[in-house]
Amino acid sequence: MTKAELVGQIAEQAGLTKTQAEKVLAALMRCVEKEVKDGGKITLTGLGTFSLAERKARKGRNPRTGEETTIPARKAVKFKASKVLNDAIN
């Protein structure tokens, strides 16, 4: 689903205009980004939890040359789906 399709569905289901729905989605995304960037986590009951994961530096290989390289440490966003979402999918 594209962002435009998602905005359309949010607008339809919430009784909003597409412009309002896009603002709501953008605000949600900014809130999640800020909270996770600051090391916190956001739990959306029925959907899941967004949090920050610290990835350690590790060894890797260049697939073209086979040369060993070091993959630097980095931060990544982690999402854990809720039981409600998992049950709905299964």
Average pLDDT over every residue of 53-75: 94
| The one-letter amino acid at 56 | K
Average pLDDT over every residue of 56-67: 93
Domains and CATH numbers, the chain: 3-89 (4.10.520.10)
Q: Decide: pTM greater than 0.85.
A: no
What was the pLDDT predicted at 8?
A: 96
What was the pLDDT predicted at 55?
A: 94
With cut-offs at 50, 70 and 90, classify the pLDDT of residue 44: very high
Residues in contact with 84: Cβ distance below 8 Å, sequence separation at least 6, in sequence order: 45, 46, 47
Average pLDDT over every residue of 7-30: 96
**DSSP codes of every residue in 70-85:** EEPPEEEEEEEE-HHH
Q: Please, what is the average pLDDT of the chain?
A: 95
